[in-house]
């Protein structure tokens, strides 16, 4: 049998064009995914900062509420003491007038 030279199939230009299009499409997808990742990261950072601010605000409000309740308790105690003193004073004045 005579020797037959087998030639590897040659790629056509269309194969290279198709691969080039596929590579470009994948690059665009990668760029879009990177933008989405950056936007997601920025959004996550903003939400984290907002949550931190809300927690700080919540703690500040809790501290203010606690101080307000303590102030109200002091005012109530002062009011009770004043009421008792006024009652005693009225009694003493009444006793002084009646005697």
Q: What is the pLDDT of residue 40?
A: 92
Distance CA 46, CA 48 (A): 5
CB atoms closer than 10 angstroms to residue 66: 10
How many Cα neighbours within 13 Å face the side chain of 60? 6
Residues 47-69 have a mean pLDDT of 92
Q: Which of the four pLDDT bands, split at 50, 70 and 90, describes residue 4?
A: low
73-98 pLDDT, tens per residue?
999 999 999 999 999 998 888 877 66
Is the per-residue pLDDT at 55 higher than 80?
A: yes
């Amino acid at each position: 049998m005579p020797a037959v030279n087998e030639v590897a199939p040659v790629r056509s230009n269309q194969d290279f064009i198709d691969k080039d299009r596929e590579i470009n499409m994948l690059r665009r997808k990668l760029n879009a995914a990177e933008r989405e990742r950056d936007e997601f990261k920025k959004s996550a950072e903003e939400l984290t900062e907002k949550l931190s601010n809300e927690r700080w605000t919540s703690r500040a409000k809790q501290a203010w509420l606690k101080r307000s309740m303590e102030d109200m308790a002091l005012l109530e105690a002062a009011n009770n003491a004043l009421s008792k003193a006024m009652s005693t004073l009225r009694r003493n004045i009444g006793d002084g007038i009646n005697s």
